[in-house]
Amino acid sequence: MKLLKFDTVNPEEYLRKKVSNNFEEIKEMDRKKFLEYIISLRSNFSDYYTYNLKKLGWEAEEFFVTPYYIDKVADELYGRGKKLMKIKESIKDKIRPARKRWVLNVILDYINIYKPDVILVREVIGIPSEFWRSYDNKALIVSRLAAPVPRYWSMSDFNLILTSTDAYKTFFELNGVETFINPNGFDERILNETGQCEKEHDVTFVGGLGNRFWAKRTEIVNYFAGKIDFKWWGYCSNKYPEDHPIKKSNQGITSGIDMLRIYKKSRIVFNDYGEIAENTGVNQRLFEVLGLGTFLLTREAVNFRKSFPENIFVTFRDEKDCLDKINYFLKNEKEREEIASAGQKYILENYRYEDLMKNIDVILKNSYRKKFSKTN
């Protein structure tokens, strides 16, 4: 069977920086080489799904909905005619404006050539979900969603939804959409790709701060940021003065392999969940940090006792408890590293993407047969 997975690089600014720094080399790449380059960055979920589905006999490919990749796809599809086609599309937009007309047409033409049996749309890619309806009679249309519901997104546009959040699973099923839990995981290739790293940072965090989706997380960071050696990478929607501890400790934007090396160089990685998780610990950061063998300090969550054994990470209740445990485990290296080692062992035994995709393989094939047996 053939699967085409649509994804993005987040944050887009990270990819822009990479392209700018390697512009001459990237300019000469064809679509396939550039796809390999984006995958090698290891941003978000990289090729963790498609790489491991290929091992199970799938023909599977990533499609990154970013202007740089769209441009390479258009080069492959249209050749010298691309420039004229873009001009024609821009004229159409002036006569009758359409949101992302050029991007959607490129995607449409690529899908028609690839002819996937399954279209998997992961998280927020900026494409209206109704766009996929035109393929409903040709492919199984699947969304993988664990982030805030995107704009222009409707669950009814999908045949199947994968999520790591129990609250979402319940909600989607109550609305009549078949939904399965698909936990995040860890890809063992990352261990070699990140290499050997010495511990350089006391406490780190990579992610968003400031808005309503991260309000509790921001309160915690605001409490300890000026009291310890703390560095974080990411966006903050709140406007802090230059001398504010959150502003001063921000190191800019990172993602992918660069982010994973930061985790590996950290003594402690702080973790908290977006408000949408409803106090459930399921985010990708948790699996990345543990898989890399780094000590994780994370907010208590209702699912931990059921989902994880004790002593593979440490939890905190509130901001004071968080700071107390940071100070304790910075002073107690042996205990800290024993917990980190146990966490890595557990993740590698239970949450490898190679194993998680075996379950997805069954789910997708069963759902595909169920859908199309009704039409045959």
Q: What pLDDT score does 23 carry?
A: 95
Q: Is the pLDDT of residue 277 over 60?
A: no
Fold of 2-185+354-373: Rossmann fold (3.40.50)
Cβ proximity of 265 and 311 under 8 Å:
no
Which tens digit of pLDDT belongs to each residue from 236-266?
A: 888 889 999 999 999 999 999 999 999 999 9
CATH number at 189-351: 3.40.50.2000
Q: What pLDDT score does 375 carry?
A: 56
Distance CA 175, CA 155 (A): 8
Mean pLDDT, residues 101-117 taken together: 95
Binning pLDDT at 50, 70 and 90, where does residue 91 land? confident
Cβ-based neighbours of 154, under 8 Å, separated by 6 or more: 129, 130
Torsion of Cα atoms, 31 then 235 then 279 then 311, to 10°: 80
Distance CA 33, CA 292 (A): 28
Cβ proximity of 213 and 190 under 8 Å:
no
Mean pLDDT, residues 126-138 taken together: 93
Mean pLDDT, residues 137-141 taken together: 97
Q: Is the pLDDT of residue 335 over 70?
A: yes
Q: What pLDDT score does 125 carry?
A: 85
**Lowest mean pLDDT, pick from 197-206, 351-360, 367-376:** 367-376
CATH 3.40.50.2000 range(s) for the chain read 189-351
Q: Is the pLDDT of residue 97 over 80?
A: no
CA angle 128, 132, 137 (to 5 degrees): 160
Mean pLDDT, residues 315-331 taken together: 97
Mean pLDDT, residues 306-335 taken together: 96
Q: Is the pLDDT of residue 163 over 90?
A: yes
Mean pLDDT, residues 117-132 taken together: 91
Which tens digit of pLDDT belongs to each residue from 285-296?
A: 999 999 999 999
Burial 64-87 (b: 16+ CB within 10 A, else e): bbbebbbebbbeebeeeebeebee
Mean pLDDT, residues 313-332 taken together: 97
Q: What pLDDT score does 118 carry?
A: 98
Q: Is the pLDDT of residue 148 over 90?
A: no
Q: What pLDDT score does 376 carry?
A: 53
Q: Is the pLDDT of residue 282 over 70?
A: yes
Q: Which ranges of 292-352 does DSSP label H, i.e. alpha helix? A: 304-307, 319-331, 333-350
Long-range contacts of 156-164 (CB under 8 A, 24+ apart): 157/129, 157/130, 157/132, 157/133, 158/121, 158/129, 158/132, 159/367, 159/371, 160/363, 160/364, 160/367, 162/360, 162/363, 164/282, 164/283
Binning pLDDT at 50, 70 and 90, where does residue 279 land? low
Which tens digit of pLDDT belongs to each residue from 8-43?
A: 998 999 999 999 999 999 999 999 999 999 999 999
In the chain, what percentage of residues exceed pLDDT 70? 97
Q: What pLDDT score does 135 carry?
A: 94
Q: What pLDDT score does 287 carry?
A: 96
Which tens digit of pLDDT belongs to each residue from 207-220?
A: 999 877 788 899 99
Q: What pLDDT score does 276 carry?
A: 55
Strands 140-144, 314-316: pairing kind: unpaired
Which tens digit of pLDDT belongs to each residue from 165-190?
A: 888 999 999 999 999 999 999 999 99
- Strand ranges (DSSP E) for the chain? 2-7, 59-64, 118-122, 140-144, 160-163, 178-181, 201-206, 230-233, 266-271, 295-299, 314-316
